[in-house]
Structure formats: C-alpha cells, structure tokens
Amino acid sequence: MNHSYMDIGQRVKTYRLNRGLSQDELAEGICSRQTISLLENGQHLPSAEFMKKIAVKLGISFHEIMVDQVNNLEAKVQLDIIKVYVETADYANALPLIEECEDREDLLEFQRRELVLLKAECLTRTGKSAEAIKLLTDLQQRLELERDADDHFMAILYDRLGTASYFLSNIANAHAYYMRAYQLTLRFPMLDLTAARISYNLGMVCRQLNRQIDSIEYLRKAESFFKVISDSKRLAQVLFELGIAYRFGGDLVRADKYLQESLVLYKQLNFVNMAYMVRESYAFTVMSRHQPEQAIEELLECIKEFEKDGNLLLVSFTYARIAYIRLKQRDIKGAEFFLQKSTDLFTKEEAFGNPRLAYVLRVKSMHYLEINNFVKCIEFSNLSSEIFDTIGLVTEAAESLKLSAEAYRRQREYKEADAVSQKIIDFLVRSKDSISKVEAYF
C-alpha cells in the first residue's frame, strides 16, 4: 500500500468529517460511496482530475488537499497534478513542482516534452513570455530537426508560441504561430478541443489585425465545436469576439446578436468582470450609434466595476471611448473632460506595448485636431502610430497616422501631408505583405 495514497485518503476523511459530510454525500455526483471508502483507506489510486472534484466538493483548494504529498507520487501522477495547477491558474504551486519533476530520472521523453509545454504556459502567465518563447523555440527546433513529434503535439507547441508572443504584444508573430498551429490541425482526423482552441486564438488575432472576414471564419468554426460540447465559458469568449468582428466588419445586426448572447452566458456563469467587459463593448460598438447618451451612462457603470477591480487600464480605455463619443457629438468640452480622466491614469512610457493605451492617445490626437492644436495633434498621432506599429498592429498604426496627415493639410503644409500619406500607404502595403508571406510560408 502506498503511504502517499493513504495520507491523501486520511486528509480527505478529515476534511469530510469536519464538514459533517457522509461518504455518500461526498460521493454524490462524483463517484460511488465505495470509491470514497477505498480512497480514505488508501486502497484507491486517485487521479488529479478526480481529486480536483473532491476538493471542490469539500470547499478547499486543490493544493490544500495535495500539499506535502506530491513529492512522493509517481511521474504520471505528478504531471497530472501540474496540469490541474495550470488549468486552475495556480502557477505559484505549479512551477516548483515542474522544476522538481524535471530532475526525475524516470521521466519518459514524451513526458519531458509535455513538461516543457506546461512550464512555458506558467512562464507566459507570470510575465516571463520571453523565457517561454526561448524554451518552446528550443524544443520546436529540435523536434523539427529530428522529425520526431506528431501533428497534435506540434500544433499545441505552436499555439503556445503564439500565446507567448501575444503576451509580449507581438501580434504579427502571434498570428504567424497561430497560423502554423491551425494548418497542422487541418491534418487532424476530426475537430477536437485543441483544434477549436487554436481556431479561436487565430480568429481573435485576425480580428485585431483587421482581417474581419478571416476572423469570422475561424471563430465560427470554434463556435460550432464549443456549442456541441456545451462549453459555456469558451462559447461566451467566442461569441464576444464574433460580436466585435462583425461590428468592425460593418454588420451591426450580427454584432448586436453575438454580443448579447455572450453577455447572457457570462451572467449565467456569474463571471461579473467579463459581463461588464461585454457590456462596455456593446455600449460602444452598437448602442453609441443610435443612443449615445444611454451608451455613455452604460460605459460609466462599467467604469465603476473596473475601478472596483482595480483595473485602471480598462478604466482609462473606457473613459477614452466616452471622449470619442463626445467628439462625434461635437461636444469638445465633454470630450476634454473624459480625456483628462483617461490620461491621468498612465504615463507615455506605460503606453508603449499596450494597444488600449495607444487608442487613448489616438483619441487625444483627435481632440487636438478638433481644437486646431495641430502641433499636439501630430505629436500624439505619431506616438499612437508608433506604439501600434511596435506591437504589430500595422493597420491601426496607419489609422492613427491619418490624423497627422489631416493636421498638415489643414495647415496647408501639403508636402508634409503627402509624406505622411505615403507612410500610411507603406503601412498598409506592409500589412498585406506580411500576411501573404506568412500564408505562403505555411
């Protein structure tokens, strides 16, 4: 009898008794009463997924029930526990166990590869994306050279590279990696969870690159799969992205439909913060067209929630969106008021690498254009464009630069306006070229 299993079983029994639960009550909806009895007597080998359900039923964290026992378990069980830690975003407990597991001599080659993916995910989610990319790239190059990995594993690897690049705000590289992952999923015998997740990631990045038709195609593919398996959380994410894609594609009817469906799901899941993010997007992208005052009221409600959560980035971004609506109403004073609130929350240095703050600077440039402060308009237009370009959102960079061109034209500085216009054209050509090169390569 393995003493680790006995210890885990005794811990489960202690928690169960402390909560006044019978074995039948703990087993309900999970397993049989006999399985709980065997577990508590150290006669049942629990899987990590099984123990995660038991922890939820007992109202404790997965780590709390497994603590001090994972070091004594076999490699496969340790890997399963790491997966649960990563799945539940418990990276603080995942990373030390990963490092310990790396030193195990009984770890098989395929398990070591899986461990690399798990470690990269932890690094990406804890602000160490550059380390994750190095780790993944080394593995990718080795496997490509040895031709010793199946399409499914390589698709996941490229997907992880895409996500790490995305977290570094390198959207162009993220798109390239996601595209490679997607191409590999086309060889799968059927659409599975990995393929659907990759399709979602690719669709989300295409939407940010203003490739709305492609974005909708990939997102609809993911939507169909998540509907079939009734994964409400992922379905809500897909519906949200589809709503935004349809909005920027000019189809407000479908944008309205998908954003509302997403909002309903997030409310059902009690994901309050995500529900407010959908409300914010709906208010700005759909409601503001015909009900600007109601849209502003809704956006102000969302700001209260974002402030409560301490999400100053979303607060700043949403204030800028209100300022944009006011500018469209020709309410210059109102726009100035909300822009001041927005820009008070960050510095120029903090804006670099952040597309939302680059948008704030674009709206600030629009405001200066409206009050004929052309010098400031050009300054913030160029700064916004530079940030978008650095991130890889080249079409957004071009959009910001249009304000500089207009400022020069209004000053009758046509030579400068033409030079900026040429730069805008170069941006747009570069955007198309970079995408076509990726597609040709893959």
Listed range (40-54, 138-152, 184-198, 418-432) with the worst mean pLDDT: 40-54
Position 287 pLDDT exceeds 70: yes
Residue 70 pLDDT: 54
Provide the pLDDT confidence category of residue 41 given band limits of 50, 70 and 90. Answer: confident
Choose which CATH entry (1.10.260.40, 3.40.190.10, 1.10.3720.10, 3.40.50.300) describes domain 1-107: 1.10.260.40
Given this model, what pLDDT does residue 69 score? 55
**pLDDT tens digits, 17-34:** 988 999 999 989 888 888
Q: Which residues contact 49 (CB under 8 A, 6 or more apart)?
A: 80, 84
Structure tokens belonging to residue 388: 């978008």
32-46, 117-131, 311-325, 381-395: least confidently modelled range: 32-46
pLDDT of residue 45: 64
Burial class from Cβ neighbours inside 10 Å (0-12, 13-18, 19+) for residue 54 reads buried
∠ CA 83-85-89, rounded to 5°: 115
Note the pLDDT of residue 149.
75
Q: How many CB atoms lie within 10 A of CB 152?
A: 15
- Output the pLDDT for position 439: 44
* Chain segment 48-91, per-residue pLDDT in tens: 778 888 888 888 877 777 665 555 567 777 888 888 889 888 89
User: What pLDDT does 440 receive?
Assistant: 41
The span from the CA of 358 to the CA of 374, in Å, is: 19
- pLDDT tens per residue, range 239-271: 999 999 999 888 999 999 999 999 999 999 999
| Mean pLDDT value across the chain | 89
Averaged pLDDT for residues 273-282: 94
Kindly tell me if the per-residue pLDDT of 160 is higher than 50.
yes
The encoded tokens of residue 240 equal: 């949200």
32-41, 177-186, 362-371, 409-418: the lowest-pLDDT one: 32-41
pLDDT in tens, 137-158: 999 999 988 887 789 999 999 9
The residue ranges of every structural domain in the chain are 1-107, 271-346, 367-442
Query: Comparing C-alpha atoms, which of 177, 191, 167, 182 is closest to residue 214?
Result: 182
- Percent of the chain at pLDDT > 70 equals 93
- Of residues 433 and 372, more confidently modeled: 372
- Residue 169: phi, psi to the nearest 5? 65, 25
